[in-house]
Amino acid sequence: MATLLDEVVARKRSPSGHGRHRAQLVAGLVVITVVAVCSLFAPLLAPYDPILTDPTAKFLPPGSAGHLLGTDELGRDLLSRLLWGGRTSLLLAVVAVAAATVVGSAAALAAGFAGPRVSGLIMRVVDVLFAFPVILVAIALAALLSPGAGVVVFAIGFAVVPYITRVVFAEVKQQRGREYVEAAVSLGAGRWSLTVREGLPNVVGPIVVYATSLVGAMVVFSASLSAVGIGVQPPAPDWGQMIASGAKVVISGHLYVALIPGLTVLLVALAFNWLGDGLNDVFDPRSRRGARR
């Protein structure tokens, strides 16, 4: 989990890759839009009830009559479960990352424009959060409460907040040395004014770019939690649940049951990463100037 997030943190921008990132922006938008629309209109698009079982139609291969993507070990239509599962998987990841982004950004802005004591305290708390294994936190929550969507949202938020805080804090520290901040201070602007009027508008771009990239990683993480039984519980359709149930029948030769939702998760995660790379071009004028040289 930490490795996946660290890879997102470490991604570099290259002026020579401007055209490639523009193509990735378009590709990411197309994939995410298609998946989001299909998931949103799942009640209209899904040919069957996603939890309806049919013992007489087990393991129908993709392309079977009436079942475009085939059926699983209980005779449930995979296309219907894939469409309905997107509503859960995407919603949990987006909502959790959005909430964590608000909390982490607020903490980073407060630390960036506060005095050294407050700033040091906030960042030490962030360091403590980094020390906790996220999967163990999720397991503890599932044991104390009960497995479900709430555990997924809290675990994602717990994982994302320290990363968002650290990245935004670094950006705020850079902005504090700019001329416009010094000018505002010389005019008597207080810390609240500096934070809201000067700091926030100038770090929105990096926040959007980074949070977008994290959604892709969290789609994978959400599916992982459901796959190990501490996320969304069956029979509710969820991509992680589909992968977990499909993995149990792979040995019997029905690879498609796990492969189809697995490829879907991979494609959506890549699409959000592509979108994040493309948005970096939009919000970073230096990369566009470098590409034109």
Instruction: Give the start-to-end residue ranges of the domains of the chain.
Output: 17-48+71-292
pLDDT band at 252 (very low <50, low <70, confident <90, very high): confident
At 140, list the tokens: 């503890």
pLDDT at 9 over 60: no
Between residues 252 and 48, which one has the greater pLDDT?
48
φ, ψ for residue 233 (rounded to 5)? -95, 145
pLDDT at 81 over 60: yes
Residue 70 to residues 64, 74, 113, 180, Cα–Cα distance (Å): 6, 11, 56, 60
Residues pairing with 67 in the sheet = 64
pLDDT band at 165 (very low <50, low <70, confident <90, very high): very high
124-138, 200-214, 254-268, range with greatest mean pLDDT: 254-268
3-state secondary structure of 263: helix
Length of the chain: 293
Angle CA(221)–CA(222)–CA(223) in degrees, nearest 5? 90
Is residue 157 within 8 A of residue 221, CB to CB? The reply is: no
CA-CA distance, 177 to 156, in Å (whole number)?
Answer: 33
Is residue 156 within 8 A of residue 97, CB to CB? The reply is: yes
**CATH architecture group of domain 17-48+71-292:** Orthogonal Bundle (1.10)
Give the pTM. Answer: 0.83
Please name the residues in contact with 280: beta carbons below 8 A apart, sequence gap of 6 or more. Answer: 13, 21, 209, 287
3-state secondary structure of 233: coil
Mean pLDDT confidence for 22-34: 90
**Closest C-alpha to 61, from 238, 244, 247, 255:** 255
CA-CA distance, 81 to 52, in Å (whole number)?
Answer: 10
Mean pLDDT confidence for 196-224: 83
CA-CA distance, 253 to 232, in Å (whole number)?
Answer: 26
Question: What percentage of the chain has pLDDT greater than the value 70?
Answer: 81
pLDDT, averaged across the chain:
83
Q: In this predicted structure, what is the pLDDT of residue 42? A: 95
